[in-house]
């Protein structure tokens, strides 16, 4: 007879962010996400870890050890990811732990319809916040991106 025994220890729940307003006409390209360019932004079971959520605004680093790779768009950094012109699109890959160990290939949307309040950018401290109007306007002005926000 099968039985179910619930463990005494509870685990911190977290899941995959949904950012798309529509699944039609989404175009993706591949980039290498540098583990060093993603902050420890989530605590899972009392351990600070790097969780890269879909919907995160990604920008390319133009200087430093991870130059040429992408990381989260963050105003407080000085490696090029703070510049709106270096934004490459919206991350579509869920990485719940892989960036704690290595750099990882990710899919980035350069053409899509997104829900602005479901998209993520990082504040100066590295915490995840909803996409601001300022960053949205900067993205809309980029000629290499065809992103529409609802």
Kindly report the pTM of this predicted structure: 0.89
Domain residues for the domain of 134 are 27-149
- Alpha-carbon distances of 137 from 83, 107, 114, 131, rounded to whole Å: 13, 22, 14, 10
pLDDT digits (tens, 9 = 90+) for 34-51: 999 999 888 777 788 899
Is 9 within the bounds of a domain? no
The CATH number linked to 62 is: 2.40.300.10
The separation between CA 85 and the C-alpha centre of its own chain, rounded to angstroms, equals 17
What is the residue whose two structure tokens read 């768009």?
73
Between 95 and 42, name the one with better pLDDT.
Answer: 95
Domains of the chain: total? 1
């Amino acid at each position: 007879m099968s039985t179910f025994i619930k463990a005494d220890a509870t685990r911190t729940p977290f899941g995959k962010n949904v950012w798309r307003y529509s699944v039609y006409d989404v175009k993706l390209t591949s980039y290498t996400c540098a583990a060093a360019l993603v902050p420890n932004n989530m605590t899972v079971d009392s351990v600070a870890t790097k969780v890269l959520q879909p919907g995160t605004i990604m920008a390319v680093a133009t200087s430093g050890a991870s130059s040429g790779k992408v990381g989260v768009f963050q105003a407080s950094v000085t490696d090029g990811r703070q510049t709106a012109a270096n934004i490459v699109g919206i991350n579509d890959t869920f990485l719940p732990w892989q960036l704690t160990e290595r750099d990882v290939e990710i899919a980035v949307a350069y053409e899509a319809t997104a829900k602005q309040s479901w998209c993520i950018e990082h504040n100066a401290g590295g915490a995840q916040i909803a996409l601001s109007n300022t960053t949205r306007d900067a993205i809309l002005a980029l000629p290499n991106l065809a992103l529409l926000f609802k």
